[in-house]
Amino acid sequence: MAEDSLSPRAAVSLTRPGSIVRHLRYVLKAMRPRQWTKNGIVFIAFIFSVNQAWQPRDFDSWDHLVLRSILTAFAFCLASGADYLINDVRDRQSDALHPTKRRRPIAAGLLAPEAAVFWAVIAGTLGIALAFLIDWRTGAVVAGYMGLMLSYSFYLKYQVILDVMVISAGFVLRAMAGAYAIGVPISPWLYVVTALGALFLAITKRRAEVVLLEGDATEHRSTLAMYTPALVDQMTSMVTASTVIAYALYTFTAPGLPENHTMMLTIPFVAYGIFRYLYLSLSRNEGGSPEEVLLKDIPLILTIAGWVATSMAVLISYR
């Protein structure tokens, strides 16, 4: 459906009034700004370094750290947006067969593949350059992230199980970049929890795709045929339990946390958040778009806010 020879609708003339704005709107949509919520992982390092790297009452100790974290998140927005553009160019024909992905600008023929590649190069270059301006290690991580995601688009996403592990690695790289940006270490436990949590989201998304596409799964992506509902359900159970246990262990074994173990007060938020998302994924079939769930489900939003607030309160009061 989406071929290199574009329809008149796709070949937007940039000489007509409003065509440039329309073109840029399609570019922005193809970069999937709703997916950028994932880049909030960058702020984990800042949040959990309170009373170590910065003091809440000393504005001069944290204002520059917030700025560096924001810029790092923006660098990831540019880098991930570039990866989405390249991914959609490569998958435009299979996306055209998908019930929801066919609405993406490239698959729908609204944005030319050549234009998408051009903007991907621009966004990717700017993202990496910005990251290197923040810290050379942050730049190296963002560049590595882009390389990993490009490898995912061209090869790794066709490798069963490895595909979801690569997605998980992308979240760990975000957390790592956030730590490098503000010059603080992060407990290995948080990397483990981040990886498991991301793996949980990736696996539930695969399940939603298998259920949604049913017999057409192989036409969209060959690996989906290998993800049977039984296999995905088993993987989901294992990762769900592992995530909750890993976070619980983090709260009372990680160095640098309050000695009275009050971080354990945050365990119910994590457990409820995971179970709530599992309910939405399995009972309501909403696991196919994690970003939509995170932006629209009020109980989940309140849970995340409660987790952040409780974590900050504990660390400020007892660290």
Whether the predicted pLDDT of 7 surpasses 70: no
Tell me what pLDDT residue 288 has. 67
The separation between the first and the last C-alpha atoms of the chain, rounded to the nearest angstrom, is 58
Is it the case that residue 61 has pLDDT exceeding 60?
Answer: yes
Q: What is the distance between the alpha carbons of residues 42 and 73, in angstroms, rounded to a whole number? A: 6
Cα distance between residue 38 and residue 22, in whole Å = 26
| Residue 72, pLDDT score | 98
Indicate yes or no: pTM above 0.95: no
Helices assigned H by DSSP within the chain: 19-30, 44-47, 59-90, 92-95, 113-134, 136-154, 162-182, 188-213, 217-220, 229-253, 267-283, 290-296, 298-318
Q: How do the domains of the chain map onto residue ranges?
A: 35-185, 187-319
pLDDT at position 219: 55
Asked if residue 228 has pLDDT above 60, the reply is: yes
Q: For 77-126, how does the pLDDT look when each residue is reduced to its tens digit (9 = 90+)?
A: 999 999 999 999 998 888 887 777 888 999 989 999 999 999 999 999 99
Instruction: Give the pLDDT band of residue 213 (cuts 50, 70, 90).
Output: low
Q: Of residues 208 and 27, which shows the higher confidence score?
A: 27
**What average pLDDT does the structure give for the chain?**
88
Q: What's the CATH number for 35-185?
A: 1.10.357.140
